[in-house]
Amino acid sequence: MFPGEAEVVVIGGGVIGSSTAYFLARAGKKVVLVEKGYKGGEASGANAAFVWSITRKPGIDIRLAMHSINIHRQLQKELDRDFEYVYNGGLLVIEDEEQLPFVEAHVKARAEDGYPLEMIDAKQVFELEPLLSEEKIIGAVFSPIDGTTNPIFLVISLNLQAQKLGAKIFHHTEAREIEVMSGKIKGVITDKGTIKTNTVVNAAGCWGCFIGEMVGLKVPITPFQLAMLVTEQLPPCVSHPIMGASYMVEEDTGKEGGLGCGLIISQQAAGNLLIGASWRDAGYDKRINQEEIELMARVNVEAMPSLKDVRVIRSYANFFPHTDDDLPILGKVDGVEGFIMACGHNGHGIGLGPGSGKLIQELICEGITSIPLDELSLSRFN
């Protein structure tokens, strides 16, 4: 039976919304989650599967990442279903001498902020990942705490545990309107019925801007397409999540427009390699073109030549919710009491999602968060 009321309604059933619902249910709140699609149907089900900290910048960025890594480990103990989370270290590989100044500056800034990283030489890289090209890779940054997960299993595990704790979760249920009276949240109108509530969490990812419009807010989140390839199942051959330093360089030099591509490789528990990634501004269009597929294949084969004989069995694309400062929007908003933002994670929703969900639960239940959210407020864009 569809519920007529709840203490909290979470809009969006990806990893951020699912984490929020789980932690709220765990805290004893009467929570309802509504998702217009299916489990892990958008960005939470189509990404690089990284739980990652290496490229997170000093300040609030790395603090969110470290907090969320701790929450991932907590969930590994709490959730009944395995979501294939492993953390034996990650590599940011340097492929060009021109990348070195950017990487070294980042490592220095992180050390000054109290979150040091380890620079390793090419010999050490090949000891960790023997299949990488000795002609292509000149060094790397290593972090022992980074890892990978199975994003779809993570969402499913969170949903199952939240339901055991009393949460009501409805997929294929669209939020169509949010009732506001005298500046206060009063309910959510869906295509299945109306839920009376005083608290709404906007965890709708790239669609968070449309949920914001329902309460008269401009939420500056836009979609940015990320594409990946999936290979056939292979014996264990890639031990760590690997990212090319070109991501950091292109971000810091303000590359915009056109088609971008950088090295991404990780291996899932089933043996499939996830390789990529390409990115472009495509609006809400998930289609991948041949140019993207060929570019991703070429970039990865150059870095790991043995991939040239591996079959690609499928490709996928989705959108990460982009904000201008590459940080999520978390917390209460001015002018609409009971409306809470939890989206805009810029392609890091899998890594940052569980930690974000815990912070939103703390905000709702305790009124104070273990990491201050002032820097992540929607008001920073005004």
Residue 42 has pLDDT above 50, yes or no: yes
- Per-residue pLDDT, averaged over 10-37, amounts to 98
What letters, b where the CB count within 10 A reaches 16 and e where it falls short, cover 255-280?
eeeeebbbbbbbbbeeebbbbbbbbb
Question: Where does the pLDDT of residue 243 fall: very low under 50, low under 70, confident under 90, or very high at 90 and above?
Answer: very high
Residue 133 main-chain phi, psi, to 5 deg? -75, 125
Residue 109 has pLDDT above 80, yes or no: yes
* Low-confidence winner among 181-190, 255-264, 269-278 (lowest mean pLDDT): 255-264
**% of the chain beyond a pLDDT of 90:** 89
Extract the tokens encoding 38. 């299916």
Question: Where does the pLDDT of residue 248 fall: very low under 50, low under 70, confident under 90, or very high at 90 and above?
Answer: confident
Q: Give burial (CB, 10 Å; 0-12/13-18/19+) of 366.
A: exposed
Higher pLDDT, 1 or 117: 117
pLDDT, tens digit, 9 for 90 and up, residues 288-323: 989 999 999 999 999 999 999 999 999 999 999 999
Residue 257 has pLDDT above 70, yes or no: no
User: How high is the mean pLDDT of the chain?
Assistant: 95
Q: What is the CATH number of domain 8-63+151-221+325-381?
A: 3.50.50.60
Q: What is the pLDDT of residue 64?
A: 98
- Per-residue pLDDT, averaged over 204-210, amounts to 97
Give which of 334, 3, 12, 336 is closest to 179, Cα–Cα.
Answer: 336
- Per-residue pLDDT, averaged over 333-345, amounts to 97
pTM: 0.95
Residue 254 has pLDDT above 50, yes or no: no
pLDDT, tens digit, 9 for 90 and up, residues 164-189: 999 999 999 999 999 999 999 999 99
Whether the Cβ atoms of residue 57 and residue 352 lie closer than 8 Å to each other:
no
Please report, as a single letter, which amino acid is at residue 178: I
Residue 252 has pLDDT above 80, yes or no: no
**% of the chain beyond a pLDDT of 70:** 98
* Low-confidence winner among 32-46, 69-83, 366-380 (lowest mean pLDDT): 32-46
Q: What is the pLDDT of residue 185?
A: 98
238 sits in the region (left: phi over 0; alpha: psi -120 to 50; else beta) called: beta
What residue segments make up the domains of the chain, in order of their start? 8-63+151-221+325-381, 90-144+222-321
- Per-residue pLDDT, averaged over 105-109, amounts to 97
| CATH class entry, domain 90-144+222-321 | alpha beta
Whether the Cβ atoms of residue 65 and residue 58 lie closer than 8 Å to each other:
no
Question: Where does the pLDDT of residue 256 fall: very low under 50, low under 70, confident under 90, or very high at 90 and above?
Answer: low
Question: Where does the pLDDT of residue 39 fall: very low under 50, low under 70, confident under 90, or very high at 90 and above?
Answer: confident
